[in-house]
Chains A and B, each alone.
Chain A
């Protein structure tokens, strides 16, 4: 539904953006950085150099868990061209909390906690020498018992990753590897299950996946003995990099200026730091610029992955499809540090449904794996996999239509969310109705094919935001934002600024500012960019418009509030209407130096109105019973975008999330050997979807405006990865005639399930 067709519910005030006819917002112009990115001119993390630059390499633990007895750097230092070696001794001491966790992950201290954990780093005059020197660093280890599986890590007798890591939320009696605990719910689940005509409980597991951005982490660091530094790096949030690096190096935040390069994908994996503090420490030690670029296997072994999970979900349903109770236990392994999003998993698990009796429990568990990082709606896709699989099975056994059942139980405005508060305006029902009406849902299936449906939910996020919009003398505008452009956000910002100023889209130049040029900006995460930087852009443009109107009022000698802004011109209004000719922006800005000085609009605040979002996906899958291989033959994404600023880029987010979900569902997984080492740390063995794996991905943009944004925008980046795992599992189960409870549904797992079903 388009925003302008939306009829507000009775008794509701119209939202600001509702019924507004936009001139530019809602069109899909070419992105401002398009030419740079198709010509090879755009500069990504590894694309810059500096005079006198050194190259660095990191020494990593080959053991899953080992005490570091001794690090002998003498042979490495003796190699021609080597300028410095750093270890943990070269970083700040006395850190606590998450900063300590990050430092411990960036450079091990007394213990290597996972295969690939950094223990030392070398800077040399060439990348080849640095790599050779890294091999000459001799580390003496005492190998310790390890654990990499989530259930094994919680079991009695499992090796303890770190004593005392648990926070106050953990009830007594649990294994020390359980470091955070979440429990929420309402009503009486037992009574709810007793009311049901059918109760299904199942156990599910998902393996860790990697965000899989094609650009490995890269940075160029320069830091002097005076503690002042410059850092260029690919990141989703350079203010966060500045904050963390300053803490880890023991310097002041403002002494370090961080510039975000173009970013070759992040998906949550570039919201923290891995190599930047190491490059800075080497630069400080050598007084020369240091470039550090990760290899792909380092990316797999030491950055990013998601949590792996072990989950139990139980749902009770009446014959008419009414859900009477839902209960879930979600155990997430997040590597050798606290932080697996067990709470988010638990809170998202049942959010699409209006159910009186709920209980959700989450365990954040440590193991000898890399520190998990956020990945697109962290925690929610796994939760949806378990919940939506059980709902599908209930529909199958009760002979009910899966979309009708979801509609019957769907959360709406005013429904009490599974995580507590009542929902404001949301668009789940609209996505379900659109899915039901889509030709895909009623299209005939071929033999061997199955259809799956799933809903998904994500919170979205606001966060600290600072932008500035400076007008040029010719009436064009320069917008500075602090959120790296991951998927075309410059275009969305330019559209919103142009809309407010009434100038052509092409006349807005959008720059991603460095940390010295704007106030703090929260990381580009939580689908916040078009929402929060967008809201900030609109408000900064309105601030500039107020100033433009003020100049016109002064020129005309009428009160400021008697001037309004229309189509890029100041226009007298009220009693003065028609007294003066409209004054175009370029005429005001041409003389701004003489009428009060430069005109700049600002916004600095923390927008707190990010609207939650829902999606419904439909997928057709075909399973080859001989090989166990699954082909996704048709895919449709229906999602509520609130208001699509740049519809083509919104579609791109929908398609990208679906494709990543297909990979997660069918192929991608971290495979650990008995020795606790990662066995598939290259793209050949960790297989992300390639072009020949996928069909076209159809999209439907639903627009139910978010009351927290002037135009109704909801974040769109993350929700699209929530439904695919379950939607594909439901399609595969329908096609193969057997339900899969474990991801990925790789050919061996499907063959095994078919074998089991045949009684083999």
Chain B
């Protein structure tokens, strides 16, 4: 299981939880599993999120691996100038 930490603005959609545990080996599987576990997150995730895996910010690649002991944080999508 991978523990996915949510930013606090999302907690209202996740029944007050700060994190959700899902079964996943990649970023894509993790996002899909999150939506399955908590359908209220779907529109946020579809709207675009970045994912930090062990401190590395992944902007869009769904195939990036996540390991059971990885530290995973959902982040709002990063945009630059």
A and B touch in the complex (CB under 8 A): yes
Interface positions of A (Cβ within 8 A of B): 167-169, 171, 181-186, 211, 267-269, 271, 341, 343-344, 347, 359, 373-378, 419-424, 458-464, 525-528, 606, 608-610, 612, 708, 715, 718
A634: min CB distance to chain B, Å: 27
B40: min CB distance to chain A, Å: 8
A349: min CB distance to chain B, Å: 13
Q: Would you call B64 an interface residue if the criterion is a C-beta within 8 Å of the partner chain's C-beta atoms?
A: yes
Which B51-81 residues have a C-beta within 8 angstroms of A? 52, 54-61, 64, 71, 73-76, 78-81
Residue of B nearest to A721 (CB): B81
CA distance A637 to B55 in the complex (A): 27
Flag if B52 contacts A718 (CB, 8 Å).
no
**Beyond A424-B55, A608-B64, is A184–B7 a contact (Cβ under 8 Å)?**
yes
CA distance A420 to B53 in the complex (A): 11
Name 19 A/B residue pairs within 8 A (Cβ), A-sorted.
A167-B47, A183-B8, A184-B9, A186-B8, A344-B79, A347-B75, A377-B80, A378-B81, A420-B75, A421-B54, A422-B54, A422-B55, A424-B54, A424-B56, A461-B80, A463-B60, A528-B80, A606-B60, A609-B56
**Beyond A169-B9, A184-B8, A422-B55, is A526–B75 a contact (Cβ under 8 Å)?**
no
Flag if A461 contacts B59 (CB, 8 Å).
yes
Flag if A420 contacts B7 (CB, 8 Å).
yes
Flag if A459 contacts B78 (CB, 8 Å).
yes
**Beyond A168-B44, A420-B7, is A268–B80 a contact (Cβ under 8 Å)?**
yes
A83: min CB distance to chain B, Å: 37
Residue of B nearest to A373 (CB): B81
- How many residues of chain B get a CB closer than 8 Å to chain A's CBs? 27
B6: min CB distance to chain A, Å: 9
CA distance A211 to B12 in the complex (A): 37
Residue of B nearest to A306 (CB): B81
Inter-chain contacts of A421 with B (CB < 8 A): 52, 54-55, 57, 71, 73, 75
CA distance A610 to B52 in the complex (A): 12
Flag if A271 contacts B81 (CB, 8 Å).
yes
Residue of A nearest to B27 (CB): A608
Residue of B nearest to A343 (CB): B76
Inter-chain contacts of B43 with A (CB < 8 A): 167-168
A98: min CB distance to chain B, Å: 10
CA distance A376 to B5 in the complex (A): 29
Inter-chain contacts of B8 with A (CB < 8 A): 183-186, 359
CA distance A11 to B12 in the complex (A): 40
Inter-chain contacts of B7 with A (CB < 8 A): 182-184, 419-420
Inter-chain contacts of B61 with A (CB < 8 A): 606, 608
CA distance A199 to B74 in the complex (A): 31
CA distance A267 to B80 in the complex (A): 10
B2: min CB distance to chain A, Å: 14
A572: min CB distance to chain B, Å: 37
Flag if B75 contacts A419 (CB, 8 Å).
yes
A203: min CB distance to chain B, Å: 22
User: Which of A271, A377, A422, A609 touches B71 (beta carbons < 8 Å)?
Assistant: A422
A707: min CB distance to chain B, Å: 8
A373: min CB distance to chain B, Å: 8
Residue of A nearest to B74 (CB): A420
Shortest beta-carbon contacts, A-B, top 8:
A526-B80, A268-B81, A421-B52, A183-B9, A374-B81, A420-B73, A343-B76, A184-B7
Flag if B80 contacts A459 (CB, 8 Å).
yes
Inter-chain contacts of B79 with A (CB < 8 A): 341, 344, 374, 378, 461, 525-526
**Beyond A167-B47, A185-B8, A420-B7, is A344–B78 a contact (Cβ under 8 Å)?**
yes
Flag if A525 contacts B80 (CB, 8 Å).
yes
User: Which of B47, B76, B81 touches A525 (beta carbons < 8 Å)?
Assistant: B81
CA distance A485 to B13 in the complex (A): 43
Residue of A nearest to B12 (CB): A171
Flag if B80 contacts A420 (CB, 8 Å).
no
Residue of B nearest to A415 (CB): B55
Which B23-57 residues have a C-beta within 8 angstroms of A? 43-44, 47, 52, 54-57
**Beyond A183-B8, A184-B7, A420-B75, is A459–B81 a contact (Cβ under 8 Å)?**
no
CA distance A271 to B9 in the complex (A): 28
CA distance A375 to B81 in the complex (A): 5
Inter-chain contacts of A461 with B (CB < 8 A): 59, 78-80
Inter-chain contacts of A269 with B (CB < 8 A): 81
A9: min CB distance to chain B, Å: 14
A177: min CB distance to chain B, Å: 19
CA distance A610 to B79 in the complex (A): 12
Flag if A718 contacts B71 (CB, 8 Å).
no
CA distance A211 to B81 in the complex (A): 10
Which of B60, B61, B81 has the most chain A CB atoms closer than 10 A to its own CB?
Answer: B81
CA distance A424 to B59 in the complex (A): 16
**Beyond A169-B44, A185-B8, is A423–B55 a contact (Cβ under 8 Å)?**
yes
Could you list 20 further interchain pairs (A-B, Cβ under 8 angstroms) beyond the known A182-B9, A374-B79? A168-B44, A171-B12, A182-B76, A185-B8, A271-B81, A344-B76, A347-B75, A377-B80, A377-B81, A378-B80, A420-B52, A420-B75, A421-B75, A422-B71, A461-B78, A526-B81, A606-B59, A606-B60, A608-B61, A610-B57
Inter-chain contacts of B52 with A (CB < 8 A): 420-421
Inter-chain contacts of A341 with B (CB < 8 A): 79
B34: min CB distance to chain A, Å: 15
Which of A341, A344, A420 has the most chain B CB atoms closer than 10 A to its own CB?
Answer: A420
Flag if B75 contacts A718 (CB, 8 Å).
no
B80: min CB distance to chain A, Å: 2
**Beyond A376-B81, A420-B5, A606-B60, is A168–B55 a contact (Cβ under 8 Å)?**
no
User: Which of A359, A374, A608 touches B57 (beta carbons < 8 Å)?
Assistant: A608
Flag if A526 contacts B78 (CB, 8 Å).
yes
Inter-chain contacts of A422 with B (CB < 8 A): 54-55, 71
Residue of A nearest to B64 (CB): A608
CA distance A171 to B24 in the complex (A): 30
Inter-chain contacts of A183 with B (CB < 8 A): 7-9
Inter-chain contacts of A609 with B (CB < 8 A): 56
User: Which of B9, B55, B80 touches A374 (beta carbons < 8 Å)?
Assistant: B80
CA distance A414 to B67 in the complex (A): 18
